Amino acid sequence: MPSDPPTQDQDQDQDQNPDQDLEQEREQELEALRRELRHHDHLYYVEGAPEISDAAYDALYRRLQALEARYPELVTPDSPTQRVGAEPRSDLPTVTHRAPMLSLDSSQDPDDVRRFDERIRKGVDGHEVVYLLEPKLDGVSIELVYEQGILGQAVTRGNGREGEAVTENVRTIGSVPLRLRDEERPVPTMLSVRGEVLMRLSAFEALNEALLEQGSEPFANPRNATSGALRQLDSSITAARPLECLAYDILAVEGEVFRSDRASVDALRAWGLAVPERIESARTVEEILAYHAAYDRDRDALDYEIDGVVIKLDSLDDRADLGSTSRHPRWAMAFKFQPRKEVTRIERIAVQVGRTGVLTPVALLRPVEVGGVTVSRATLHNREELERKDVREGDRVRIQRAGDVIPQVVEVVPPEVAPEGASGEVPVASRAEPFRMPTHCPNCGTPVEERGPFTLCPNRFGCSAQLKGRIVHFASRQGLDIEGLGDETASLLVDRELVRELADLFELTSEVLLPLPLFAEKKAENLVAGIQARRRTELRRFLFGLGIPEVGASVARDLATHFRSLDALQAAGREELEAVHGIGPRMSEAITGFFGDPANAAVVDALATRMEALTVPDREGEGGPLEGMTIVFTGTLESMSRGAAKKLVEKAGARSPSSVSGETDLVVAGPGAGSKRARAEALGVEVMDEAGFLALLEEKGIPTG
């Protein structure tokens, strides 16, 4: 049978087909070029094994550029051409991390590694202990967030909970894939990765040589150069710096479940991210020590800076059980190398008054280079340490520095062990008199107090040296987050007597600031506006900013969440404070002592009168279906990791500690459950298997997806 004649609509569709086919061909060619360039980028930046010449690569790149310039509507965010940088920005916005980026507890002592291993073995409920070992890179920590496999955000570590968005800058780093590879395994719907941005020593030296040729100031070390490059407002400057990024941890993931750190590292590698070299497993302390010793031997031959090795428990379920403090995970530690040391002379000993009132003796040194950094000051710690080492003005001393730690005086070098041929040594008999700590604060003249090995000025807010530090702390990122109120500005405001107490900050005007040497009109206006904008702030930030002894950012958050108002906290006694999770007798004594001091109370009251509101966000999970319950997980869960299960019940209002006690309401036990299940049964706590737990979630209307 003959076919029906085409309709008018079909005629129109046929007329359009050639154009549609042409557009489809363009898209296919563009995607083929992008795919090929990504492949060669991966080989060059990650594998270090390029397959084609630079000229061949440039030809492919220019072809892609030309097509995208001709058809801009077909440009995609993950195209290799988008690495060149965006328009300069006016600021770096603050962004909350998908999961906390904690620091690591660290030590140089092998005995501390043994104690760490003992704690791990006691805490994992009898499970096999396997560690993952990797180099501790001395760079700048970064969070990379991928949505549907596309790089959507890059954030500096900041305070561990939030950092600065530097996405456009990180997009210029060749070893950071703009699109995850999916040839070996599917990409997750969301992936948050922790990595380290660094600059190789050879690249750093070449950069400094170029700067010197231009008549510019060279960088002090690779880490400073890296940090400065990452925080540029103009990403084209970042693009010109030889940065690399190595990924080593998955902070959060959706669409994947990992049981071990080794599996997550393998996944990172499969998705096209560069990972540190020489990642190894260990089951004993002896294997850890051997790994550390091998890296220490090779340290000077490496083309990048490391300051130790990282020891991490491999099992992610056991990590979830062990949990973290407010600062450090309990399942990992950094085993540092012994610091580099040099010999120089103490020219004078000064006393520095810190924000908390501690008087610290500081050695002012004849400048010497230690590990690539010129050192002219070193801490002498405290009164007892100064006396123990018998350090005096004019002594030749051995100093050391490790990582970001303030240089320290290790020991006095007597003349008899001086290098052969040295001249001008000071005979032992003519050494200076032993240095004595002052009896009065060198800044405000207040009689000092001795507390253990420390010497303190008790004049907290009345001592100008302490006030300078307290202003900086009050304005810090975890405090009221007032931009432009750093050390130099704080010192100027106090020295000019424009700020005699913290509350005076809110009385500053542009007219008062303009005559000062640091201030032009715009800067003065910005600082005043920044301060005034903080009249309304979160109670947790206000409490942290006060600098209450023992109260860091995590405790400030807990206090604000529990008491909900400044008045309620000020009126709380020690028993009420110790009812807050994580606050013990020492902390409660420090808090009540702070608010009970009349001078402190006057400062707090003066500040409170300047504030429009001290807000408290609703508690996460408050009013949730599991509010008030305490649920502990043990063993292996099939449907989700223990970490995911803990987050799920906490979001629904429950607490999920890592240990079983009389306050526990429910223990969810999977295969492999050990002592926690036995303790729950001994205490009469309900024990439920995974099927029962999932049924409970369904009954309470809590989604698991």
CA angle 608, 561, 528 (to 5 degrees): 35
In this prediction, residues 449-463 reach a mean pLDDT of 91
Query: Which residue among 136, 336, 468, 646 is the active-site one?
Result: 136
Q: Mean pLDDT of all residues in the chain?
A: 86
Q: Are 241 and 166 in contact (CB under 8 A)?
A: no
Domain CATH number, residue 163: 3.30.470.30
Same domain, 482 and 378: no
Residue 31's pLDDT band, with cuts at 50, 70 and 90, is confident
Q: Could you say which of 293, 320, 336 is where a domain stops?
A: 336
639, pLDDT greater than 60: yes
Same domain, 682 and 569: no
Same domain, 593 and 654: no
Same domain, 227 and 349: no
Amino acid 621: pLDDT: 53
In Å, how far are 296, 702, 703 from 699, measured between CA atoms? 56, 8, 10
625 domain residue, yes or no: no
532, pLDDT greater than 90: yes
Domain CATH number, residue 659: 3.40.50.10190
Amino acid 421: pLDDT: 47
In this prediction, residues 173-192 reach a mean pLDDT of 93
Same domain, 346 and 320: no
Same domain, 405 and 471: no
Amino acid 657: pLDDT: 79
Check if 136 is active-site.
yes
For residues 288 and 579, the model is more confident at: 288
Same domain, 611 and 640: no
Q: What is the pLDDT of residues 298-356, one digit of tens each?
A: 887 888 888 899 999 999 999 988 888 767 899 999 999 887 788 999 999 999 998 88
230 domain residue, yes or no: yes
Residue 361's pLDDT band, with cuts at 50, 70 and 90, is very high
Domain CATH number, residue 523: 1.10.150.20
Give the separation between CA 595 and CA 600, rounded to whole angstroms. Answer: 6
Q: Could you say which of 302, 336, 370 is where a domain stops?
A: 336
SS3 of residue 587 by DSSP: helix
13, pLDDT greater than 50: no
Listed range (177-181, 191-195, 671-675) with the worst mean pLDDT: 671-675
92 domain residue, yes or no: no
Q: Are strands 536-538 and 613-615 parallel, antiparallel or unpaired?
A: parallel
User: For the chain, how many structural domains are there in total?
Assistant: 5
Amino acid 327: pLDDT: 76
Give the separation between CA 23 and CA 26, rounded to whole angstroms. Answer: 5
Q: Are strands 140-147 and 150-156 parallel, antiparallel or unpaired?
A: antiparallel
14, pLDDT greater than 60: no
Q: What is the pLDDT of residues 657-694, one digit of tens each?
A: 777 887 789 999 988 777 888 888 888 899 999 999 99
Q: Percentage of the chain surpassing pLDDT 90?
A: 47
Same domain, 331 and 356: no
Amino acid 637: pLDDT: 85
Segments forming the whole domain that contains residue 409: 340-417
Same domain, 611 and 642: no
Same domain, 194 and 328: yes
Give the separation between CA 602 and CA 286, rounded to whole angstroms. Answer: 57
Query: Is-above-0.75 flag for pTM?
Result: no
Amino acid 213: pLDDT: 78
Listed range (226-230, 417-421, 514-518, 629-633) with the worst mean pLDDT: 417-421
Tokens of 182: 């999916």
607, pLDDT greater than 50: yes
In this prediction, residues 607-631 reach a mean pLDDT of 82
131, pLDDT greater than 50: yes
Amino acid 1: pLDDT: 39
Q: Could you say which of 562, 587, 615 is where a domain stops?
A: 615
Same domain, 288 and 315: yes
In this prediction, residues 84-89 reach a mean pLDDT of 51
Q: Percentage of the chain surpassing pLDDT 70?
A: 90
Q: Are 487 and 495 in contact (CB under 8 A)?
A: no
Give the separation between CA 308 and CA 596, rounded to whole angstroms. Answer: 44
Q: Are 336 and 308 in contact (CB under 8 A)?
A: yes
101 domain residue, yes or no: no
212, pLDDT greater than 80: no
Residue 8's pLDDT band, with cuts at 50, 70 and 90, is very low
Q: Give 264's contacts (C-beta < 8 A, 6+ positions apart).
A: 249, 250, 258, 316
Looking at residue 179, the DSSP 8-state letter turns out to be: B
117 domain residue, yes or no: yes
Amino acid 580: pLDDT: 81
Same domain, 469 and 580: yes
328 domain residue, yes or no: yes
Domain CATH number, residue 69: 1.10.287.610
